[in-house]
Amino acid sequence: MTVRIAISNARRLGLDGDKVHLRYRDDRDGEHKTLVLQAAELLRRFLLHVLPKGLMRVRHYGLLANRCRVQRLAHIRKLLAAPPPEPEPEAEAEQGHEPEQGWPCPVCGRGRMRPVRRIPPRPAALGCAPYR
């Protein structure tokens, strides 16, 4: 299912004055639990998922799915006889041409980070299915 309701009727257990009782499943132990929220807090959390007027939520399925994006875009470029994209400087660093001092820290921006271990690429046998 690709479209779901934010809070279904099955999750709403009841109202008690200005408090709302909701059922949820705890990911840590898999058990169903009850959450009690003030009505204003429930509305605040719900409205975090509402997009501003004029914006549309985009989800990448099909051709741009994460699992097969690289292979499918290469196949599309081949069909369109388009040249491959120019490699970005960051892409060269990931291919083994890492900077000597490391990468800037994403938190403070001042410190430098160096790789501790390298993760090997996935075997071709684990790649995505061919384009259909």
> Does residue 48 form part of some domain?
yes
Predicted local distance difference test score (pLDDT) of residue 35: 93
How far is it, in rounded angstroms, from Cα 64 to Cα 128? 12
Among the ranges given (50-54, 103-107, 128-132), the one the predictor scored with the smallest mean pLDDT: 128-132
The answer to whether residue 125 sits within a structural domain is no
Residue-number span of the structural domain to which 24 is assigned: 7-82
What is the mean pLDDT of the segment spanning 34-42? 93
pLDDT, mean of residues 46-68:
77
> Does residue 104 belong to any structural domain of this protein?
no
Q: Is residue 68 part of a domain?
A: yes
Domain count for the chain = 1
Residue 17 within any structural domain of the chain: yes
Q: Which residue has the higher pLDDT, 23 or 131?
A: 23
Name which residue leads in pLDDT, 42 or 113.
42
Instruction: Kindly state the average pLDDT of the residues 8-33.
Output: 90
